[in-house]
Amino acid sequence: MYTRRIFPIKGVIKWTRRHIILFIVLGLVPVVLFDILELKWLHVPWLPLGVLGTAVAFIVSFKNNASYDRLWEARKIWGGIVNASRSWTIMVKDFITNDHKATTKTPEELQAIKRELVHRHVAWLNALRYQLRKDKPWEMHLKSQRSNKEFRAQYYRVCEDVEPIEGAVKPYISDEEYKEIFAKGNKASQLLGVQSRRLKELMEAGLIEDFRHMEMMNMLVEFYTLQGKSERIKNFPYPRQFATLNYIFVWIFILLIPYGIMEEFEGFGTTILDHLSTHTDQLSLIHRSQVAIAKHFVWFSVPFSALISWVFHTMEAIGENSENPFEGGPNDVPITDLSRGIEIDIRQLIDDTDIPEPYVWENDIVM
């Protein structure tokens, strides 16, 4: 789910190991038919296959760019939430005073009001991250893939999948508000509505004058805007016509590449044989081994076709795993960690107590 480490190459290979084996098998089948069964007609001309590969490369690049744009926009939105949360907290800290109230409140009472508003904001952060982690139909295929399931089970956990939302929200609001919020659908929006109602009550009580009330309401509007931007990315998938066709085109190229590259390696072997027959007269053991290798040089197409297939498939998989930046993948936006960081920051701004510690993540994968 979030800012994570750069995975070593062995991690990528382990993630894609099943496909690597499949690509080797796909490369072996045409070579066996071509070299052992001598079906020499079984090949695809390299020129049209090269044109197809170029087109597929453009399509994969387009998808990866679009997926990265979605990821980067999500990160900018949560950067805005970080900044707006700090701005909200300093307004709470400095705008709520006895300056416009006939009957003054004690410093302890003012601190309790400030703490209430900040804690309710933390509840909003937690409710929002749980809503963004909620599974969508177009995300489920990634969680069902065997390699992704194994990687998730071994290296990290998604807090929102194992900890209920009630435990993340209830400690920060009153029992009455808890019942009100959880009786509604969009809990994050309801919490902002409660904040707005509370600000109105504070203004009527003389603890916030009109101009300060307006500025704080503008901050709530900003929170609604940032929430809506997050929901836009969450609730609208990368267009499936692009994703599906991209997947099909990549696999068409993967299935054809062994038949195209095979003839090229056969030609290399023929060139080597011609060179050996021209420049070598002795029938030494080394010479005979070189001739044997040259005659069956087509077998070198197997690792090379597997490598090309692996590169194209892995790039397609990277785009597929990056297009939904809130679903809980190891390279998504770290909204759980960001929420905890915001909570620590803003609660320290109002000198709150019992501030939680930052999350400690395993294997450098930050949720």
236-265 per-position pLDDT tens digit = 988 878 888 888 999 999 999 999 888 888
Section 313-324 average pLDDT: 88
Cβ-contact 199, 218 below 8 angstroms: no
Section 120-148 average pLDDT: 83
Section 124-145 average pLDDT: 82
Q: Is residue 2 included in any domain, yes or no?
A: no
- Residue 7 carries which DSSP code? P
Please state which of the ranges 63-72, 113-122, 177-186, 292-301 shows the lowest mean pLDDT: 292-301
Q: What is the pLDDT of residue 180?
A: 94
Cβ-contact 227, 189 below 8 angstroms: yes
User: What is the C-alpha separation between 259 and 228, in angstroms, rounded?
Assistant: 49
Strand locations in 108-241 (E): none
pLDDT tens-digit readout, 7-56: 566 767 777 888 999 999 999 999 898 888 888 888 888 888 889 999 99
| 364 has a pLDDT exceeding 70 | no
| 87 has a pLDDT exceeding 90 | yes
- Residue 207 carries which DSSP code? S
Predicted TM-score (pTM) of the model is: 0.85
Q: Is residue 99 included in any domain, yes or no?
A: yes
Tokens of residue 188, six digits: 């994050």
Residue, of 90 and 143, whose pLDDT is higher: 90
Q: Which domain holds residue 134?
A: 9-364
Q: Is residue 1 included in any domain, yes or no?
A: no
SS3 79: helix
Cβ-contact 207, 109 below 8 angstroms: no
Q: Is residue 290 included in any domain, yes or no?
A: yes
As for how many domains the chain has, the answer is 1
Section 123-143 average pLDDT: 85
Q: Is residue 4 included in any domain, yes or no?
A: no
Burial of residue 358 (number of CB atoms within 10 Å: 0-12, 13-18, 19+): exposed
Share of the chain above pLDDT 90, in %: 53
Please state which of the ranges 85-94, 147-156, 193-202 shows the lowest mean pLDDT: 147-156
Residue, of 296 and 61, whose pLDDT is higher: 61
Tokens of residue 305, six digits: 């076709």
Rounded to a whole number of angstroms, the distance between the first and last alpha carbons of the chain is 4
Q: Is residue 3 included in any domain, yes or no?
A: no
User: What is the C-alpha separation between 267 and 315, in angstroms, rounded?
Assistant: 30
Section 340-361 average pLDDT: 90
